[in-house]
Amino acid sequence: MAKEHPLAQFRFCPKCGSPQFTVHNGKSKHCETCGFTYYFNPSAATVAVILNGRGELLACRRGKEPAKGTLDLPGGFSDCYETSEEGVAREVKEETGLDVTQTEFLFSLPNTYLYSGFLVHTIDNFFRCTVADSHGAHAMDDAAELQWIPLREVRPELFGLESVRKGVERLIGLLG
C-alpha cells in the first residue's frame, strides 16, 4: 500500500498563502511566489515507562481518539521551548498526577498520529521515568483509567497506538 507523502497535505505557502507551492524535493516544498522553502519534519513526542517497586508497568486507558479505550503509556507532544525530558515529566504529571524525579532515554520510534483529521508524523522518544511516589497515581487529562500491570502479563496487542505497541514489545525484551 503506497502512503501519501506528508507534504501533500500542504497546498498553500504558509508564509504568503500562494497556491504556487510545489514539491522541491522529497523533504520540502518551495513557494514560487515568495521563495520560501518549507521542510517537513516530525514532531517530537514522549512516552513514559514507569515501573513500581513490584516490577509493574503503569499503563493508561486512552480516554480520547485516536485508539480510544485501548491501553497506552503516559506521554504526548513536547511543547516549544521545552526539552523532551521536561515534556515527558509534564505529560506524566498531567495524565497521572505523578512527579517525575529522573528520566533515562531508552530509544525512539517513528510514528503517525491522526489528530483532527490531520496526519501528524512524530518521533516518539521513550524514557524510563522514576517517580517520587507511585501510590498517588490517578487518571487525569487524556487518561480514562490507570493500571499497574506485572511485566510478565503485559500484552502489547492491547496497546492501540502502533509505536507504543512496538515500544512495549521492545521493552519486554529489555526489561523482562
Supply the DSSP symbol for 41.
-
On whether the pTM is more than 0.85, the answer is yes
The answer to whether 122 and 167 have CB atoms below 8 angstroms apart is no
Query: For 98, what's the count of Cα atoms within 13 Å in the CB-facing half-sphere?
Result: 30
User: Are residues 107 and 63 located together in one domain of the fold?
Assistant: yes
Mean pLDDT lowest for which of 5-9, 129-133, 148-152, 157-161? 5-9
pLDDT at 4: 65
- pLDDT attached to residue 161: 92
Q: 156: domain range?
A: 43-175
Convert the pLDDT of each residue in 58-111 to its tens digit.
Answer: 999 999 888 899 999 999 999 999 999 999 999 999 999 999 999 999 999 999
Same domain, residue pair 19 and 60:
no
- Residue 139 · residue 146 · CB < 8 Å: yes
Confidence class for position 165, pLDDT limits 50, 70, 90:
very high
Do 29 and 105 have their domain in common?
no
Residues 157 and 124 in one domain: yes
The tally of domains found in the chain comes to 2
Whether residue 91 is found in the same domain as residue 110: yes
Q: Do residue 96 and residue 151 come from a single domain?
A: yes
Examine the domain organization and report whether 55 and 21 are in the same domain.
no
pLDDT at 1: 42
Q: What is the CB neighbour count within 10 angstroms for residue 157?
A: 10
- What Cα–Cα distance (Å) separates residue 101 from each residue in 31, 83, 89? 46, 15, 8
C-beta separation of 61 from 72 below 8 A: yes
Grade residue 117 by pLDDT with cuts at 50, 70 and 90. confident
Rounded to an integer, what distance in angstroms lies between the CA atom of residue 61 and that of residue 29?
38
